[in-house]
Amino acid sequence: MKRERVAAGVLSSQEPDAARSRYLGPNWYASVMGTGIVANAGAILPFDVPGLKQFCQVVWLLAAALLVGLLVATAIHWLRSPQTARSYGHDVQMSQFYGAPPMAFMTVGAGALLAAHSLLGLRLAVDLDWVLWTLGTVTGLVTATLIPYRLFTEIEVRSDAAFGGWLMPIVPPMVSASTGALLIPYVASPDGRATLLYGCYALFGMSLIAAFIIITLIWSRLAHFGSSNSGRVPTLWIVLGPLGQSITVSGILGAQAHLAVSSTLATAMTAFAVLFGVPVWGFAMLWVVLAASLTLRTMRSRMPFSLTWWSFTFPVGVTVTGTIRLAVQTGLPAFRWASGVGYAALLVAWLTVVVRTTHATGRGTLLRAPVPGSTTPPASKLRRSEP
C-alpha cells in the first residue's frame, strides 16, 4: 500500500539549532548545473565576443569548484546528520532532485572539453570528461529508475502533485546522451564509436518519452489546479530542460554520426536533427512564454527566494545550446540571433540567482529545514492561494 513519507529536512522541533543548519539536500547541485551551462553555452555561442572565451573558463572553474565543495559538504553532512540526509530520499519533492548531482557531474565534464580544453590541455580535458560522464551516467540511470519506482510504490500522490521537479530524475540520461556524443571522436575503435552513438540514442529515447509523459501531467495540473503556490512556480522552467536538451542531443549526434555509421545512416541522422529539433524548439518557445507569464504573475504578488530559482538557469541554458545547434545545422541567422538573445537572458538569470543565493547562504536561510507545507498547500486551497 502506498504511503506518504515525512518531508525530508522537516526536522523535529526538538532537534538542536546546530542540526538545523546542516540541511543540505541534493537540490544544491542545481547551482553547479546552472553555473556550468553558462560556460558550456558561451563556449559554443556563434558570435565572436571579445573576452568570452576567458569568461567561460572562469565560470567553468567556478562550477568545478562548486562541485568539489558540494561533494565535500555532502560527505560531511552524511557523517554528521545521517538521519536527515537519508530522509531526502523519502520526501515526495526533495527525492526528485537526486537527478541534479548526476547532471552536475556531466555538465562540468562537458565544460572541460567545451570551455576549458585550452586551459587544461586536451588530454586532461578528455580524461576528466570520461570520468565525470561515466559517474554521471551510472548515477543518472539509478535515479531514472529508482526515484520513479519509489514514486509509484511508496508515496501517496495527490491529483495536483505533478510539478517540474518530477523531470529531474529522468533527465540525466538525456544529458548523458548529449555529453556522451561529444566523446565519440575520442573513441579509437569503429565499433566503440558506433556503440557509443547508438547508446546515446537509447539514452535520448529513455528520457524523451518519460519527459513527454510528465510534461503532459504538468499541463494537466496547470489546467485543473492553476499554477499552484509560489514556491513551485520556478520549477515550471524545468520543462525547458528535456526540450532544449533533446534538440541539443539530436544535433550533436547527427553531427557525429559520420564518425560511427554508414554515410546513408549519417545523412538520415543529420536530417532527423533538423526535422525533430525545429518542431520541439517551437514548443519550447511556447513554454517560455507560458512560464514567463506565470512567473511574472506570481512575482507581482510574492515569490520568495529558494533554490528552485536555479530552475531559471540550466533549462534556459540547454535551450540556448539547442538553438545554437539549429543555427549550425540550418544556417539561418534567425536561430543564430535567437541563441544570442537566449544567452543574454541566461546571463541575467544566472547573475540574479548567484547574488540571491550568496546573500541567502550568508544569512543561513538556505541551510535550514523548510517550513512544513510551505511548498505543497492542500489541493483545495490551490486556487484561492494563487496571486
Q: Spell out the domains of the chain, with CATH numbers in brackets.
A: 17-374 (1.50.10.150)
What SS3 class is residue 291?
helix
Higher pLDDT: 200 or 152? It is 200
What's the one-letter identity of residue 326? L
Q: Nearest Cα to 319, choosing from 261, 217, 255, 243?
A: 243
The reported pLDDT for the residue numbered 304 is 86
Indicate the average pLDDT of the chain: 89
372 pLDDT exceeds 60? no
What average pLDDT does this structure show over 378-383?
Answer: 36
DSSP letters, 192-209, are HHHHHHHHHHHHHHHHHH
What SS3 class is residue 225?
helix
What SS3 class is residue 160?
coil
Q: 177 vs 133, 145, 255, CA distance in Å?
A: 10, 17, 13
Burial group, residue 62, by CB count within 10 angstroms (0-12, 13-18, 19+): middle
Higher pLDDT: 17 or 338? It is 338
Q: Nearest Cα to 309, choosing from 238, 214, 387?
A: 238
164 pLDDT exceeds 70? yes
197 pLDDT exceeds 90? yes
What average pLDDT does this structure show over 332-348?
Answer: 98
pLDDT tens-digit series, residues 17-48: 444 446 789 999 999 999 999 999 999 999 99
What average pLDDT does this structure show over 361-366?
Answer: 84
Predicted confidence band at 8 (pLDDT cuts at 50, 70, 90)? very low
pLDDT tens-digit series, residues 133-143: 999 999 999 99
Element at 247 (helix H, strand E): helix 240-256
The reported pLDDT for the residue numbered 228 is 64
pLDDT tens-digit series, residues 227-262: 766 678 999 999 999 999 999 999 999 999 999 999
Share of the chain above pLDDT 90, in %: 76
